Structure 1
Amino acid sequence: MQHETLTMFQRLVARADNPLNRELLSLMRKMVDRIDELEGQIGSLESALNLDKTANVQAAFGISENLAHLLIMLSDGKPKNKEALHAGLYYQRPDIDAPEVKIVDTLICKLRKYIEPHHVEIGTVWGSGYQITNGLDVVCSAIESAEPAGGTIINLAAVR
């Protein structure tokens, strides 16, 4: 990830060839790497917290765990690019084991078929990715209330 602060600092260092500036740039790079590492850990923790939400979404729409994760990632209503969705789905897999980014297109296509009867739509934001364009309230309700489309309340304690 390229941070604006690092980019600005690199421009400053390029103007003055000073050993202190080079050392500061090195420290800044280490900080950015650490921030990226921590952001990844935060993502892992958020995923762990979403386990109950995933079960709710799976039951509400009759979808697989992977599709439920994808729908949850889109549930903030903001556009997400394919790379971000791919990273969110496969962050625990090593790069050599993760499928190609193109798999996101296939998963979105499958997900659309399952959510269409619930009047939920995922639109393509050209040049940006995907976004829930209709039925966001239905998705959020399914995530939070654990009430599937059939109207039966899920008892997560009984599932465990």
Structure 2
Amino acid sequence: MDVDARIEGLQAEVDRLQGRVDQLEAAMGMTIAAPLEWRLTPAEQRVFGVLMARELATKDAVMAGVYRDAGRDEPEIKIVGVFVCKIRAKLKRFEIPIETVWGQGYRLPAAAKARVRERLALEAA
């Protein structure tokens, strides 16, 4: 096989894998960019993205969205509650509540998700 054909084949494989990574990141909620005025940190943005992407975000799902792709050690799972507390405080003035589902995880009510999507659409336009 000549070098050009091999390079072309490898590039096609890279493109295919990048497409799969993009799909997985979207499914995990890692592609949502909250408005700047919310002042969410990058980790808080990822937590918020997980909440937007799921009906119910378990603590494990949040940990996966924030830490597991980085390939580094994870902190204690209690950090999820800290993130949620900080995000709640920042989003309170924008009337975006995060509900606790005791023993299961966290969720954004459907009405709040709709408001967020409207806001993101307006900012994108």
Please, what TM-score do these two structures have when normalized by structure 1? 0.54
The letter of the residue matching 1:43 is L
Count of residue pairs brought into register by the alignment:
104
Q: Which runs of 5+ in 1 are unaligned?
A: 1-39, 148-152, 154-160
Q: Which runs of 5+ in 2 are unaligned?
A: 1-19
Shift of 1:145: 3.3
Q: Distance in 1 between matches of 2:46 and 2:95?
A: 19
Q: Residue deviations 1:70-127, cap 9 Å, x none?
A: 11211146111101111111122335x2222111110000000011101110010012
Is the Cα contact below 8 Å between 1:79 and 1:129 reproduced in 2?
yes
Is the Cα contact below 8 Å between 1:80 and 1:129 reproduced in 2?
yes
> What is the percentage of aligned positions where both structures have the same residue?
22
Match of 1:135 in 2: 112
Please, what TM-score do these two structures have when normalized by structure 2? 0.67
The letter of the residue matching 2:99 is G
1:116 aligns with 2:92: yes
CA RMSD, 1 decimal: 2.8
1:91 aligns with 2:78: no
The letter of the residue matching 2:103 is G
SS at match of 1:124: strand
Q: Distance in 1 between matches of 2:115 and 2:43?
A: 19
